[in-house]
Amino acid sequence: MGNIAVWKGDSKLVDQIGQFATIPFSFIKTTKEKKLDFHACWLFVILRYYTNGKTGNAFPSYTTIHNLTGMTRKKISDSLKKLEKAGWLEKKKRFGGSTIYTLIIPKPLEFEDDDFFEEGEEPF
């Protein structure tokens, strides 16, 4: 099996399984503590996928999110509220009615490297 990910000259990371989104490990480790259910977590992944690398903003429509996830408008709305309450999301209405979503790292969320691993567990 060849390389899974390869570097293409102009700073683009391309891999054989397609485009991907990185998820902060701090998000993964705090989902239970922040009471984020499956739908809120999946919505975070979708928003992360749509986040513009330069602006840090995402603006997928409810229709786009529904088509990718199958979530109802109510479930999308509830999940957005959970992400906001947990401190991982800021929403801003744009002129014309669309919404800009910005994923953020909640404060205070400062970890030592050791906080991410169980005793005896080693990083990769």
Alpha helices, DSSP H only, in 13-95?
25-30, 38-50, 62-69, 73-85
Q: Which domain holds residue 91?
A: 23-109
In a domain, residue 7? The reply is no
* Relative orientation angle of helices 73-85 and 38-50, to the nearest 10 degrees: 90
In a domain, residue 43? The reply is yes
In a domain, residue 3? The reply is no
pLDDT at residue 98 greater than cutoff 90: no
In a domain, residue 5? The reply is no
Could you report the per-residue pLDDT of 59-72, keeping only the tens digit for each? Answer: 999 999 999 999 99
Of all residues in the chain, the percent with pLDDT exceeding 90 is: 51
Longest dimension (CA), the chain: 53
In a domain, residue 119? The reply is no
In a domain, residue 2? The reply is no
- What's the confidence (pLDDT) of residue 94? 84
CATH number at residue 86: 1.10.10.10
Could you report the per-residue pLDDT of 19-30, keeping only the tens digit for each? Answer: 778 888 889 999
The length of the chain in residues reads 124
Query: Is 47 buried (19+), middle (13-18) or exposed (0-12) by CB count in 10 A?
Result: buried
* Relative orientation angle of helices 62-69 and 73-85, to the nearest 10 degrees: 100
> Mean per-residue pLDDT for 101-105?
92
- What's the confidence (pLDDT) of residue 22? 85
In a domain, residue 62? The reply is yes
In a domain, residue 14? The reply is no
Query: Domain count of the chain?
Result: 1
C-alpha dist (Å) from residue 110 to 22, 35, 90, 116 = 19, 18, 19, 11
Q: Which of 71, 102, 72 is nearest to 87 (CA)?
A: 102
